[in-house]
Amino acid sequence: MKKNVLKRNHAVYALVMALIISLSVMLLSGCGGNDDGRSDATGKPASNATALPGGATTAPSQDDGYVFKKGDVTIVMNAKAADIIAALGEPSNYYESPSCAFEGMDKTYSYPGFDVTTYTESGVDYISGVVFWDDSVETPEGLYIGASAADVQRIYGADAAGKTNVQLEKGSSYLLILLKDDLVSSIQYLAKN
């Protein structure tokens, strides 16, 4: 008889516990839901006091920063160079300059209208820049060598009139536009260190 009571009690406990667990799970996912909406906001005070800079070394994703597109190939600053260079095809010229003493090799690949440069880190090449040489190429936004300061203003919203250079910053890249007499004389993509 006593055993039965115990058993029944257990059944009640089990029921209550099941309730508690499911409630908690709902509560937790509720928290999660709240958190999701402003993960950015809540993340900040926490990171204010953090010893673990989580994500500090996150590599740039494909879509941040200025990119140059040649045909189907998208050239992203600080991206691994191998696939990009392979996709661009045989360069018309290639130059490599080793560093003094330490390992490391800066490479320049020349293509009609533009150069791509790379740097080495731990044996892997990464894109360090793109330089335009003539108006046969243009940025995906539509700027080319010979365009006017007004075009720079229209396309990038940067006041370039009367200036010799405009440097725009986005993600892990800079876009450097040089001007002479209010005409674009050089366009360069640079990787941020």
Partner 1 sequence: MSFVSLGFLAFLAVLMLLYYTVPKRGQWILLLAGSVFFYAFAGWSSLIFITVTALSTYFAGIYIGKLASARDAYLKGEGKELDKEAKKAYKAKVKKRTYLIMSLCLILNLGMLAVIKYTDFGISIINGIFKTNIGFLRFALPMGISFYIFQSMGYIIDVYRGKYAPEKNVARFCLFVSFFPQLLQGPISRFDELSKTLYGPHDFDWDKFARGAWRVVWGFFKKMIIADRMITAVIELSGRPDKYKGVYVVALVLFYAIELYADFTGGIDITIGVAEMLGIQVAENFDRPFFSLNITEYWRRWHITMGTWFKDYIFYPLSVSPKMLKISKWSREKLGNAIGKRVPVYLSTIIVWFATGLWHGAAWNFIVWGLLNCLVIIISQELSPLYGKFHKRFGFSNTKGYNVFQMFRTFWLMGFIRVLDVYRDVPGTFKQVGTIFTTANWGDLFNGSFLELGLAWQDFIVILLGCAVMLTVSILQNKGQVRDRIILKRPVPVRLILFAALILIIAVFGAYGIGYDAGQFIYVQF
Partner 2 sequence: MKKALKIIVKIVALAALLVLCLGLLQRLLVPKYITENEEGLLVKEYYDYAGENDVLFIGDCEVYSNFSPVKLWQDFGITSAIRGSPQQLIWHSYYMLEDTLRHEKPKVVVFNVLSMKYGEPQSEAYNRLALDGMKWSNTKVRAIRASMTEEEADSEGFTIASYVFPLLRFHSRWNELSGEDFKYLFSTRQLSHNGYVMRVDSKPVTEIPRAKPLADYSFSDTCWNYLNKIRELCDDNGIQLILIKAPTLMPHWYDEWDEQIVKYAADNGLCYVNMLKEAETIGIDYYSENADTFDAGMHLNLNGAEKLSEWFGNYLKANTALGDRRTESHTCVIWQEKEDYYEEMKNAQYTQLREEGKLTGYWG
Residues that bind partner 2 (CB under 8 A): 93-95, 97-102, 108, 110, 115, 131, 133, 164-165, 167, 176, 178, 185-186, 188
- In whole angstroms, how close is the CB of 131 to partner 2 at the nearest point? 4
- In whole angstroms, how close is the CB of 127 to partner 1 at the nearest point? 20
Give the C-alpha separation, 9 to 49, whole Å.
47
- Please choose which of partner 1, partner 2, none residue 51 contacts, taking the beta carbon within 5 to 8 angstroms, the exact cut-off set by kind: partner 1
Q: Residue 79 burial (CB < 10 Å; 0-12/13-18/19+)?
A: buried
- Please choose which of partner 2, partner 1, none residue 122 contacts, taking the beta carbon within 5 to 8 angstroms, the exact cut-off set by kind: none
- Please choose which of partner 1, partner 2, none residue 136 contacts, taking the beta carbon within 5 to 8 angstroms, the exact cut-off set by kind: none
- Please choose which of partner 1, partner 2, none residue 33 contacts, taking the beta carbon within 5 to 8 angstroms, the exact cut-off set by kind: partner 1
Give the CA distances from residue 125 to residues 55, 76, 106, 114, 156, in Å, rounded to whole numbers and listed in that order: 22, 13, 9, 19, 30
The stretch near partner 1 (CB under 8 A) out of 46-54, 92-100, 108-116, 152-160 is 46-54
Q: Which of 29, 97 has the CB closer to partner 2?
A: 97
For 53, what's the count of Cα atoms within 13 Å in the CB-facing half-sphere? 3
3-state secondary structure of 83: helix
Q: Which two tokens stand for residue 12?
A: 């009640």
